[in-house]
Structure 1
Amino acid sequence: MARSTIALGMEGSANKIGIGIMEHAPSGEARVLANVRRTYITPPGQGFLPKDTAAHHQEHVIQLVRAALSEAGIKPTQVDCICFTKGPGMGAPLTSVAVVARTLSLLWNKPLVGVNHCIGHIEMGRMITSAQNPVILYVSGGNTQVIAYSERRYHIFGETIDIAVGNCLDRFARIVNLPNDPSPGYNIEQAAKRGSQYIELPYAVKGMDVSFSGILAYIETIANEQLSAGTCTVEDLCFSLQETLFAMLVETTERAMAHVGSTEVMIVGGVGCNERLQEMMGKMVKQRGGHLFATDERFCIDNGLMIAQAGLLMFKTGHVTPLEETWCTQRFRTDEVLVTWRD
């Protein structure tokens, strides 16, 4: 008699350490067993350094594994594979979690599956939303990509040519000294709701690609000159920045929809939680007679469950990462992965 397959997923590519446990029934139905997470939060005006972030992950990872097993109500013997983020991400945090994954693999005698971080986001989104074959907007602190699936690859149709949209928002939050708790992007989103004056910023769409570094430099100059003069507020700047960045993302996503003939858009990644981005994208998609798919903060923000989901799909199609290949890489493109689990 066929039985369920269970994966434990470990994510630690940035400032969040997450452990998730996913179960796939013989019918193929996926069931969430556990999804626990801790976030490394720094004081206002500061980012998170790789060394300190890795230390945070090392401090919490074992207790999170125990908490996930307890929440799922299972024992290590019931786990079929251990999945971990192989990249992309910050080197020290990635490595700190991979070491624990290797250790558990040896202790429990379980196979390892190295997962691409972006693929994790995509497959988590597909599972939660039931989107069939959407154009994917992947927006996070470290990545900005417009993606569509074809012939066993997630192809990148457009991307940032410098910094990611989440990184742009995070760095602006530091410029205006917004708190990092619960996240800089969330605090910008809330401040933007109180903004009333739109300040024109550079609009940097280059074909299917986007550029954010020049916008960040420009708005920093405005902040330094106009905030002290009282001609605008932090809320106005947050509002203006969001409207400009998100308009650029909507434009490139719409162009990808037209190119591939899709009527679906799915937003994944931490910035995908932003309600204004969802609203703007939703209006565009509705005008094209399509449907927008998005998830809430449980699943769009980095989490171990997404690594378990993608890893389990890989594992069930015969993919296992040998111990000598469980190194991590800060650069691991989405389109490098052969998608063996989709037609």
Structure 2
Amino acid sequence: MVIAIGFEGSANKLAIGIINDNEVLSNVRKTYVTPPGEGFLPRETAIHHRTYVLEILKKALNDAKLTMKDINVICYTKGPGMGGPLSALAIVARTVAQIYNKPIIAVNHCIGHIEMGRLITGSKNPTILYVSGGNTQIIAYSRNKYRIFGETIDIAVGNCLDRFARLLMLSNDPSPGYNIEQMAKKGKKLAPLPYTVKGMDVSFSGILSNIEEHLDDWLNCKKYTKEDLCFSLQETTFSMLIEITERAMAHVGSNEVLIVGGVGCNLHLQDMMKIMCEERGAILHATDERFCIDNGVMIAVAGLLQFKHDKSTPFGDTTCVQRYRTDDVHVSWRD
């Protein structure tokens, strides 16, 4: 029995989770929400995390009915992410590790999503679609690495949704993507948007540029409603993601798909992916917002796997790396 705590703060989600081997004991999260039309900046996000981290830590421990003395290993997000928020949580994790003399593990954020998804869904060796505000990748495991078969060549799909929401002045509460998903349910007309798939890679920046160029005309002339544009954006971007996922499945001979990352809790994306999987005789694995959206449990899960196979991270290496790729990590815990 090993109890691990995970600190996550790579973007606007401040989260701490505690697990006892494979049992989730607590999963606490607080989101930094900005006004409509505004994104979150590194400095302000870091201030948010520093302000609330001790409150969130106390709640996580209380939910788990534990104290810090009961924790066996401390895990934190090394990267990728925004420098300020990453550093804010890393400092807390390092400080707690020193105060209580606990081993510390530096975790790749992307690997956290993957291992959390595998644990919660029970998937064995899936083709992984990782979709979030900062990352869009098609991934499969091979020879102790999570290999990236395709990815965005400019901005992530989550960033595309966030910036689109700012153009339409949609609320950021609880998240721009969620509000787009709800509005899209009322959309009826499909606007012509660029569909950019380049082999196994995708591009989303042209979609935003196209919408920005035509937005006033479309809305003022009542050619499309805001709901129509939300519907069109989802249909176009999600179709691109499903195309490259299916191509990766064919390439590696996979019969299961795992969707992870914040955008992965979009039910319409899951429904579209499920249709593709059923046509191929494959299985779709997905989770809800408790585990798709950035959380501390995923850092604890991945960190515990590393700890059991690689032991702790040397304290001098417990730094942050803003660009820390999925395929940079040696996956020692898988055959």
2:6 to 5, 9, 27: 9
Q: List gaps (5 residues or longer) in structure 2.
A: none
Asked if 1:333 corresponds to 2:325, the answer is: yes
Gaps of 5+ in 1: 25-29
2: distance between equivalents of 1:224 and 1:96? Answer: 40
Aligned-pair distance for 1:273? 0.4
Aligned residue among 16, 20, 25 for 1:23 = 20
RMSD: 0.6
* Matching of residues 308-319 of structure 1 within 5 Å: 308-319=300-311
Counterpart for residue 181 of structure 2: 189
* 1:105 paired residue among 97, 101, 108: 97
Question: Is 1:230 aligned to residue 229 of structure 2?
Answer: no
Q: How many residue pairs align between the two structures?
A: 335
Query: What SS is found at the alignment partner of 1:197?
Result: coil
Q: 1:276 aligns with which of 255, 268, 278?
A: 268
Which whole-Å CA distance do the structure 2 matches of 1:228 and 1:113 have between them? 54
Q: Give the secondary structure class of the aligned counterpart of 1:295.
A: coil
Where do 4+ consecutive residues of structure 1 move more than 6 Å? none
- Secondary structure, counterpart of 1:105 in structure 2: helix
2:51 is aligned to 59
| Separation in 2, partners of 1:204, 1:330 | 27
SS at match of 1:61: helix
Output the CA distance in 2 between the equivalents of 1:79 and 1:295.
Answer: 27
Residue pairs, 1:1-343, within 5 angstroms: 4-24=1-21, 30-343=22-335
1-structure distance, mates of 2:168, 2:215:
7
Query: 1:27 maps to which residue?
Result: none
**Overall identity of the aligned pairs, in %:** 64
Which deviates further from its counterpart, 138-147 or 77-86?
Answer: 77-86
- Give the deviation of 1:224 after TM superposition: 2.2
Give me the whole-angstrom Cα distance separating, in 2, the residues matched to 1:112 and 1:333.
20
Counterpart code for 2:143: E
Tell me, in whole angstroms, the C-alpha distance in 2 between the residues paired with 1:281 and 1:89.
27
* Cα deviation, residue 319, structure 1: 3.1
**Cα offsets for 1:6-25 (capped at 9, x unmatched):** 1000000000000000111x
Aligned partners of 1:182 and 1:228: how far apart in 2?
28
Q: CA offset at residue 318 of structure 1?
A: 2.5
Counterpart-to-counterpart distance in 2, 1:275 and 1:228: 30
**Matches of 1:91 and 1:224 in 2, distance apart?**
35
Amino acid at match of 1:7: A
Q: Which amino acid aligns with 1:18?
A: A
- State the AA in 1 paired with 2:331: V
Q: Deviations over 1:185-244 (max 9, x none)?
A: 000000100001001111100000000001110011221221122111000000001000
| Aligned mates of 2:68, 2:8 — CA distance in 1 | 18
Whole-angstrom distance in 2 between the partners of 1:220 and 1:123: 37
Deviation at residue 77 of structure 1 after TM alignment: 1.5
Secondary structure of 2:258's aligned partner: strand
What amino acid is aligned across from residue 117 of structure 2 in structure 1? G
Quick one: distance in 1 between partners of 2:249 and 2:277?
A: 9
> How much does 1:179 deviate?
0.3
Scaled by the length of structure 2, what TM-score is found? 0.99
Deviation string for 1:121-176 (max 9, x for gaps)?
Answer: 00000000000100000000000000000111000000000000000000000001
TM-score normalized by the length of structure 1? 0.97
The whole-number CA distance in structure 2 between the counterparts of 1:150 and 1:220 is: 41
